[in-house]
Amino acid sequence: MALYKIKAQGYGGSGASAMPFTSHDITALQSEIEDLLLSDHAVQLYKMNADDTETRVDYETYTRIRVIIDEDQ
C-alpha cells in the first residue's frame, strides 16, 4: 500500500498552514482534503517514494451547487 502526504496552506499567505497529514487510507485522505478545501486552504497531495522523496499527485474536486428560486416572493 502506498503512503501519501497532504500539505496545505491558507490562501493568500495570511492563512494558517495545516500540519502535514500522512496515510495509506484513500478514504481518510479524501476526507482530509475535503475538510481542508472547505476551510479555504490550498492543498497538495504527494505520494511518498521508497527513497523518501515525494511525487506530486494530481486530484480532481467536484462541487455541487443547487439554486432554489422562491417564486412566491
For residue 19, tell me if it sits in a domain: yes
For residue 46, tell me if it sits in a domain: yes
In the chain, how many domains are there?
1
The tens digit of pLDDT for each residue in 9-64 reads 987 666 668 899 999 999 999 999 999 988 888 999 999 999 999 999 999 988 88
For residue 63, tell me if it sits in a domain: no
For residue 62, tell me if it sits in a domain: no
For residue 73, tell me if it sits in a domain: no
For residue 69, tell me if it sits in a domain: no
For residue 36, tell me if it sits in a domain: yes
* Angstrom distances, CA of residue 24 to CA of 6, 10, 13, 44, 69: 11, 24, 29, 16, 43
* Angstrom distances, CA of residue 64 to CA of 39, 42, 48, 61: 17, 19, 31, 10
Domain that holds residue 12: 3-57
**Per-residue pLDDT, 12:** 65
For residue 71, tell me if it sits in a domain: no
Q: How far apart are the C-alpha atoms of 14 and 61, rounded to whole Å?
A: 24
In this prediction the pTM is: 0.80
